[in-house]
Structure 1
Amino acid sequence: MSNLQNYWPEPIVRVRSLSESGITEIPSRYVKPLEDRPAPVTEFDPDVNIPVIDLGVGGGGGGGWPGSVLGQVSEACREWGFFQVVNHGVDRSLMREMREKWREFFHLPEELKAEYANTPCTYEGYGSRLGVEKGAVLDWSDYYFLHYLPSCLRDPNKWPALPPLFREMIAEYSKQVVELCGRLMNILSINLGLPEAFLLDKFGGDDHLGACLRVNFYPKCPQPDLALGLSPHSDPGGLTILLPDENVPGLQVRRGDRWITVNPVPDAFIVNIGDQMQVLSNANYKSVEHRVIVNSGKERVSLAYFYNPRGDILIKPADELVTEDCPALYPPMTFNEYRLYIRTKGPRGKSQVDALKSPR
């Protein structure tokens, strides 16, 4: 990134501080254009939800997944781009504790959190905006971003030291979530008719792939009908494993011309397909636009784990999925080149991956 992108274009304002200042109207910088504002939550059908899949009935490797699990994951990846998983192998008590410890972190005094303030060069640390476009309309959220893999990027000193023993907890949680990602990658490969390790190898293998955590904190918002916690976007990477706030729904998934509010299942992860997986699968799997609404009475905390290809590997449609009838839809591009877009522009729907797509 250029030197200009080592600094934010304007002074950083922490959204939690705004929320707790007693304001009754949000600053204009957070007011979304009329067409992007969320509809009242009462307009959404609580009985419509993304698929929920039980992974606990199989997963021994070597193609040992039951056909029912394979079929459910395949349909969810092709039709929804999102699904929830239960009995996923990650310690449930650790999931709950992680969510609450991160809540504690965001409630620490600002001077303590300021020690971890980030820059747009890497985004690692404590932040309150995405993108370096001056004058952009901002999202109503603070966040913390950190690297886990590859190990050469991991710097535990940039991980929060408070609350006590937090770094050790982050490391154990990261280990378990990455193992879950590996199991899901095996399933996705099998469902494409490819060898079980195919997609993992295309990401660079266990020793070189990328894994990073973004923790989102959405403070109470006095005018939730004017703002968004996170603007519409599709995730630029491979897979995303989201630990939601079970008590305060906020994630919305685009389904045709509707926004579906996801109802989190207790102790489940929400999984979604990223743009790199859409490219590798030659659009057999779809990344899907999503956003986050905010709440006037309750704050929210969610943990998004991004499982990505190695940054310098060219990602293109798998040769095995390209035929005369189904030509390659995307040109080769490294993940580093691709994610530069969101780092400079911020969330912009699915404009990047759609712009790459060639007509059949």
Structure 2
Amino acid sequence: MNSLLSWPEPVVRVQSLSENGIRTIPGQYIKPITDRPELKPGSEIDEHVDIPVIDLRNLFGKDRALHDETLRRIASACEDWGFFQVVNHGVSHELMKRTRDAWREFFDSPLESKQLYANSPSTYEGYGSRLGVEKGAILDWCDYFFLNFLPVVLRNESKWPAQPTSCRELVAEYGAEVTKLCERLLKAMSMNLELQENYLQNAFGGDDVGACLRVNFYPKCPQPELTLGLSPHSDPGGITVLLPDHDVTGLQVRNNGKWITVKSVPNAFIVNVGDQIQVLSNAIYKSVEHRVIVNSEKDRVSLAFFYNPKSDLLIQPAEELVGADRPALYSPMTFEEYRIYIRMNGPRGKIQIESLKSNRKSPF
């Protein structure tokens, strides 16, 4: 664990580079030609389709037919896309806006005030600008703030921004409301897998789950064709609820070999399946590779809420989803073991979860 105590190189704030008016980006942000966000054979960008949009108004409502149809749409999205947008999700639109505005105010504050929250790779908690501890790694064009929300024993609000003054209160309220949404979604996913409705929640730890928030800031970039705001990866946790910047597109999802630029619906959340759900469902539901592009005209702020299993619980395929015709694809492993691997190596597409399959070499 000693290798996780400090960053291997001095940390550069991407926002500072952007605001200094540079015309060319430093070499450590330039992606290899094969990884740049441009059209190339086998990795075309498809602008004519989008991820499903699901209205949750009737989920667990009195109308059985509408309830069942909502469940069916969630199941289809989890199997075919790994991503979907939700509207009428129960979280106040005003709360969403105020929380996002507070974080934009934080990133617009002077560098010296943000530096008070500078993070380390031991927990990632605080103000950061890189993922992974590989020396000489190609970096992403992004700054972020990461904080623990659940379990409450790990929540330390003194590490959350004190400015703007509303930030801590808003994060607490926002996190509580999004947690309720995650609980509803896990219940729906369990039912669709023909498991007990609380199966996934209990597999995550019941009332003792993990959750964290990563607020991403993607500064304007003078050469957006050479870099990425976030490299291709699948999320290592359970499910992710993203509050996007509805004014600026950036999220791209890989589907059938093509990158789909997500067009966010106003007041919607973007939900995606994480690697732990892929394991628990024995790959019936699949986490999906996604990335973030940047642009030269506008900054972007997005809030990713990660709802995860308790760190020391063994995660493995549900017994009900394992049989002679569908053997268990993954061996038991705790989420903490998996998370350390991600922290050590940074984004690696789908390599991390695929390497856990029983017929592949483990990354551990």
- Displacement of 1:358 in angstroms is 2.9
What secondary structure is seen at the aligned counterpart in 1 of 2:217? strand
Which residue of structure 2 aligns with residue 312 of structure 1? 312
Q: Does structure 1 residue 348 correspond to structure 2 residue 359? A: no
Partner amino acid for 1:39?
E
Map 1:188-199; keep pairs closer than 5 Å.
188-199=189-200
Query: Conserved in 2, the CA contact under 8 Å of 1:244 and 1:264?
Result: yes
- Displacement of 1:164 in angstroms is 1.4
Q: Does structure 1 residue 20 correspond to structure 2 residue 45? A: no
Query: Conserved in 2, the CA contact under 8 Å of 1:216 and 1:301?
Result: yes
Which residue of structure 2 aligns with residue 259 of structure 1? 259
Which residue of structure 2 aligns with residue 10 of structure 1? 9
- Displacement of 1:45 in angstroms is 4.1
CA 1:267 to 1:40, structure 2 compared with 1: closer, same or farther past 3 Å?
farther
Which residue of structure 1 aligns with residue 217 of structure 2? 217
Quick one: distance in 2 between partners of 1:324 and 1:156? 49
What secondary structure is seen at the aligned counterpart in 2 of 1:66? helix
Quick one: distance in 2 between partners of 1:53 and 1:268? 9
Which residue of structure 2 aligns with residue 92 of structure 1? 93
Q: Runs in 1 of length 4+ with deviation above 4 angstroms?
A: none
Q: Does structure 1 residue 143 correspond to structure 2 residue 144? A: yes
- Displacement of 1:82 in angstroms is 0.2
Offset from partner CA, 1:277-309 (integer Å, 9 cap, x none): 000000010000000000100000000000000
Query: Conserved in 1, the CA contact under 8 Å of 2:46 and 2:259?
Result: no
Which residue of structure 2 aligns with residue 293 of structure 1? 293
Query: TM-score under structure 1 normalisation?
Result: 0.96
Query: Conserved in 2, the CA contact under 8 Å of 1:315 and 1:333?
Result: yes
- Displacement of 1:131 in angstroms is 0.4
What secondary structure is seen at the aligned counterpart in 1 of 2:214? strand
Query: Conserved in 2, the CA contact under 8 Å of 1:29 and 1:137?
Result: yes
Query: Conserved in 1, the CA contact under 8 Å of 2:61 and 2:67?
Result: no
- Displacement of 1:182 in angstroms is 0.2
- Displacement of 1:68 in angstroms is 0.6
Which residue of structure 1 aligns with residue 37 of structure 2? 38
Query: Conserved in 1, the CA contact under 8 Å of 2:161 and 2:168?
Result: yes
CA 1:223 to 1:201, structure 2 compared with 1: closer, same or farther past 3 Å?
same
Which residue of structure 2 aligns with residue 130 of structure 1? 131
Offset from partner CA, 1:161-211 (integer Å, 9 cap, x none): 1111210111000000000000000000000001111100000012x1001
Q: Does structure 1 residue 157 correspond to structure 2 residue 158? A: yes
Partner amino acid for 2:5?
N
Partner amino acid for 2:34?
E
- Displacement of 1:64 in angstroms is 9.5
What secondary structure is seen at the aligned counterpart in 2 of 1:245? coil
Which residue of structure 2 aligns with residue 112 of structure 1? 113
Q: Does structure 1 residue 331 correspond to structure 2 residue 331? A: yes
Partner amino acid for 1:320?
E
Quick one: distance in 1 between partners of 2:75 and 2:276? 17
Of 43-52 and 306-315, the range deviating more from structure 2: 43-52
- Displacement of 1:5 in angstroms is 1.3
Map 1:167-206; keep pairs closer than 5 Å.
167-206=168-207
Long gaps (5+) in structure 2: none
CA 1:353 to 1:45, structure 2 compared with 1: closer, same or farther past 3 Å?
closer
Q: Does structure 1 residue 29 correspond to structure 2 residue 28? A: yes
Map 1:67-86; keep pairs closer than 5 Å.
67-86=68-87
Percent of residue pairs identical:
63
Count of matched residue pairs: 356
What secondary structure is seen at the aligned counterpart in 2 of 1:116? coil
Partner amino acid for 2:202?
D
Query: Conserved in 2, the CA contact under 8 Å of 1:40 and 1:225?
Result: no
Quick one: distance in 1 between partners of 2:262 and 2:69? 23
Query: Conserved in 2, the CA contact under 8 Å of 1:59 and 1:65?
Result: no
- Displacement of 1:229 in angstroms is 0.2
What secondary structure is seen at the aligned counterpart in 2 of 1:288? coil
Quick one: distance in 1 between partners of 2:195 and 2:124? 35
Query: Conserved in 2, the CA contact under 8 Å of 1:232 and 1:291?
Result: yes
Query: Conserved in 1, the CA contact under 8 Å of 2:211 and 2:306?
Result: yes
Offset from partner CA, 1:127-176 (integer Å, 9 cap, x none): 00000000000000000000110011000000111111210111000000
Quick one: distance in 2 between partners of 1:305 and 1:342? 17
Quick one: distance in 2 between partners of 1:8 and 1:94? 35
Query: Conserved in 2, the CA contact under 8 Å of 1:46 and 1:263?
Result: no
